[in-house]
Structure 1
Amino acid sequence: MDKIKSTLHFICGKMASGKTTLSKKLAKEEKAILISEDIWLQRLYPTEINTFEDYKNYSARLKTILTDHIKEILLSGVSVVLDFPANIPKTRNWIREIFESTSANHLLHVIDMTDEDCLRQLHKRNLERSEGSIVMTEEEFFMVTSYYIPPTEEENFNTKEY
C-alpha cells in the first residue's frame, strides 16, 4: 500500500486579507500542523521587532530555525500549514525548497482582495488584537503592501484562489 504524501499549504495575500484566518481553517480541515510566523516571532522576540527592517531580519532568522523542523514534519507524513506571508518570490522559493526536498505535495492559497477590503479588516484586527497580531496603521499597510508580488504562472505552483 502506498503511503499518503503530506501537503505543505502556504498562503499569499495582502496584509489583513485573511491569511491567518484561512490558515487556521485549513489546519483544522486538513488535520495539519499550523506554524504561525507572527506567533513564533512574538514569543521569541517580544521586544526586538520595532520596525519593518527588524521584522525582515528576525523573520529570516526564524526561517533558518524552522526549515529542518518543517521538513521533518512533512517527511513523517503530516501535512503543514505555513502561516507565513508567501507574498514575494524569495519566500515562495524558500517554501519550494522545503516541499521539493521532501517530495511533499504543495498548495499555494492565493487571496485576492482589494486594498479597501483589507483596510476594513485591518481596522477590525487592530481592535480585536488576537495573539500574534500587532496594531498597524494605514500608512504601514500601504508600505508593506508595496512589497507584495502575486505569484506568476511561471512559478508553477499548484494554486487555489479565493
Structure 2
Amino acid sequence: MTDAARLVPAPATLHFFCGKAGAGKSTLAAALAKEEGAVLISEDVWLARLFGDQMHTFDDYIRCSRKLKTVVGPLVADLLASGLNVVMDFQANTRAGRAWFLSVCAQAGAAHVLHHVDVPDAVCLQRIARRNAERPEGSHALSEADFHHIMSFFEPPDEAGLALQLHR
C-alpha cells in the first residue's frame, strides 16, 4: 500500500434494514453495531422518548417518524461525513423509504448496506408475541391483524444500485 493510499480513509458506511415486523431487524441492528463499533440509532427508542404520548395509531407513527427523520437525517449525514459508521434501526420497507436513506448517504459521501431480513410470517408472529410479552423500550404491542396491515405496505427491495445483504 502506498503512503497516499493510507492517508485516504475508506468512506463510512450506513447500515439500514428492511423486513417484516418481527423479522429480527432490531436484534440484527444491535449485534451489527456492536460488531462494527458503529453508532446505533433506533427509531423505536427515539420515537418512544420524543413522541410516546402522541403515538396511538399507525398514522401517528407515520407522522412522528417523518418529524424524526428531519432531525436524524442531518445528524447521521454529519456522523458519516466525519468517518463514523452508523447503524440505523429504522425501517426501509418501501422504495421511498430506501430513497431517503440513500439520499443521506449521498449527502455524506458514504457507502451503504441494506440488510434485508427475510423470514417466514410464522416466525415473525412468534417473535411479535414474545416482544408483546417482554415489551422492550420503544416496542408497541402488535396483533396479527396489525402485522398484516403493516406488511401490506412492504415493498421488497429490487432497486438497482443497492448494496444488499440478505439475512434468513
Correspondence list, 1:13-162, <5 A: 13-152=19-158, 154-162=159-167
In 2, the alpha carbon distance for the partners of 1:139 and 1:156 equals 34
Match of 1:51, as an amino acid? T
How high is the TM-score relative to the length of structure 1? 0.97
In 2, the alpha carbon distance for the partners of 1:66 and 1:2 equals 27
Q: Deviations over 1:76-98 (max 9, x none)?
A: 10000010011011110100001
Alpha-carbon deviation of 1:155?
A: 3.5
Match of 2:58, as an amino acid? F
Match of 1:76, as an amino acid? S
Q: Which residue of 1 aligns with 2:3?
A: none
Alpha-carbon deviation of 1:102?
A: 1.2
Residue aligned with 2:142, SS: coil
CA RMSD of aligned residues (A): 0.8
Which structure 2 residue ranges, 5 or more long, are not aligned? Answer: 1-6
In 2, the alpha carbon distance for the partners of 1:7 and 1:93 equals 16
Deviation above 4 Å: which 4+ runs of structure 1? none
Percent identity reads: 41
Q: Deviations over 1:16-64 (max 9, x none)?
A: 0000000000100110000100000000012101110110011001001
In 2, the alpha carbon distance for the partners of 1:140 and 1:115 equals 13
In 1, the alpha carbon distance for the partners of 2:112 and 2:132 equals 31
